[in-house]
Every structure is written in C-alpha cells, then in structure tokens.
Amino acid sequence: MVTSPKGYMCSEDQTITYRLLLRNGRTSGFNEIYHRWELTIPGRAPNKKRDASGRHTRLLEQYFGPDPVYNARDVRTRFRMTQRLFLRILQGVVETDSYFVQRRDATGKRGIFILLKVTAALRQLAYSVAADSIDENLELSASTALECVKRFCHAVIHCIGEEYLRPPNQLEMQTFLDQNAHRGFVGMIGSVDCMHWQWRICLSGLAGQYKAVADYNLRIWHRNFGSPGSLNDINVLDQSNLFEDFLQGNAPRVEYTVNGNQYYTPYLLADGIYPEWVVFVKSIERPRRKKHKHVKRPVARMSNIVLVFTSGVE
C-alpha cells in the first residue's frame, strides 16, 4: 500500500489497473486520480541538469592546461600514472572504441567529453569509489560511469594487450634468471608465496579475490582474479592458470647448472604445503645450519604498493 502526502491510498492492484488502462488508451478519468496520488507514471525520467561542459573546462584548467592548478606529482597521485602515459592511453582508447568519441544527440546537443569519460573510469579503478561519487565530482551519471569502466577495460586490453598483457619472452625470462642468480638462486624465476598484490581499499566482500605476480621491477606478469579469500594456497593453485604451461610440457626452456648438474626447467620457491612438483623448490622446514638460517627468499616488493598500471607500460 502506498500513501501520498495528501493522504490518498493506492494499492498495487490500482497501479496495475492504471497500467492496463494506459496500454489500451482508456485512462481518461483515471489520470486525475492517479496524479492526485502523486505517483510516478511509467516513462523515462527527465535528465538532471548536469554541467558536463563546465566540468570539462575545469578539468583542463586543473591538470592539462598551459598553467595547471595541480603539478605533475598531483597528476601521478590522482591518476596513478604520469600525464604522458595518461594521454597515450586516452588516445589508444579513443581509437579502439567509438563510445569515447564525443558526438551530438538528436537535438544537436554535444555529448560527454572524452576526457571526462576516461577520467571517470580511472578514478573508479584507482580509488575504488562508487559510481555515485563520480556523479558529484565529474558530472556523469552512475550508469554512464559504470559503462565507462567496462568499455575502458576492454579498450585497454585490445589496444595494448599484445604488447603488455603477455607472458615473458625468452629474453625477459633470461633476465629473471640472471637477477635471481645474482641473489644466490640459480634457475629461479620467482616465489609462489611472494606474489600477493595488496589492495588497501578493497571492499570487504571482495577481499582475497585478486592476486598478481610481479618481477623485481614491479611489472605484473600474472594475475588471478575471483578466488574467494577463504581458499588456502593449494585451492588457489588448483584454480590458477599460472602453471598450465608447466603441466602441459610447454614450460620456458632454460639452461643452468647447480652442483655440477644440468637443468632445463626453471623453478619457484615454495613452502612445504605445496605439492612435490619439479617446478617447486621448498624451504627447509627446520633449518639448523647457520648457512640455512641466512638464506632468505626475495622480498615481495609488491606487498605494500598500490598500482593500476605498472611502470613498464610507459
């Protein structure tokens, strides 16, 4: 039952009756009562009076004008990248998806500016803010802001995926081996337990569902999304595609010598809970010798760094 401010009552049956009459074009005599109830007649709500043009002008003055209000450090903090990289991504996104290209509607009114759409997508990715806050800050509706995020992600994957969203090639793999050999781990390409990317402002309902593997230079080479936070290491290992190439016999071929023995498969450091795979070299459970106690795994530099795009994208 719905009560109007004037005290009139309206049941769901009355609402259904009105909609049936509306479909048959027989609402005369009922419209007055329906409006008197102050209920919403089915139809499209009018657009809110947003000032997207004015917000676009202010955004240019703040970050991208000849004498911007905020400096390069502010741009990197709020966009999570340099201005040069932002403009490069903006150009690639526009060339990939025509949704970001500004057009005029049927009335001749100019659509939303490219800069506002891309900025809205990045603000949501960088700060994990609600789409409603984009409405207040960038003069875009929540539905438009969400659509910008979806299309932005697809466009980025399409325009730079082949270059940056790929497994390491042979030269890069050799670089990993050389770096780790310098630290005393010949043949190692990483640590399976030092691969968690911390999302400081992650929603509690999504906690534990996002993992990434980065090299020493903070370039992300592997990611696994969607695993519930309640899973342990073995369950996550079963769901991840990190070792598919190893299991299918397509592991990167490398050559290194340890204690006079020649090996052709790289390995990762792991704890004792992991299975007895050739790709895992486990830690010593109870180190007794002084040499064993001084051997430490590489520090996980990704653990306290929040990134959206790695430095390797520049």
Which residues are within 8 A (CB) of 81 and not within 5 positions of it... i.e. 6 or more apart? 89, 308, 309, 313, 314
Q: Report the pLDDT value the prediction gives residue 118, as an integer from 0 to 100.
A: 92
Q: Domains of the chain: which residue ranges? A: 2-36, 52-164, 170-313
Sequential DSSP letters for 14-64: HHHHHHHHHHHT--TTTHHHHHHTTPPPSSPPPPP---HHHHHHHHIIIII
Q: Report the pLDDT value the prediction gives residue 185, as an integer from 0 to 100.
A: 83
- DSSP-derived secondary structure letter, 229: T
* Residue ranges, the chain, pLDDT below 50: 1-10, 37-39, 195-197, 296-314
What are the beta bridge partners of residue 280? Answer: 268
Q: Report the pLDDT value the prediction gives residue 302, as an integer from 0 to 100.
A: 39
CA 115 to chain centroid? 19
Q: Report the pLDDT value the prediction gives residue 310, as an integer from 0 to 100.
A: 33
Q: Report the pLDDT value the prediction gives residue 104, as an integer from 0 to 100.
A: 82
Task: Provide φ and ψ at 220, rounded to 5°.
Answer: -80, 125
CA 233 to CA 208: how far, in whole Å? Answer: 12
Question: What type of residue is 195?
Answer: M
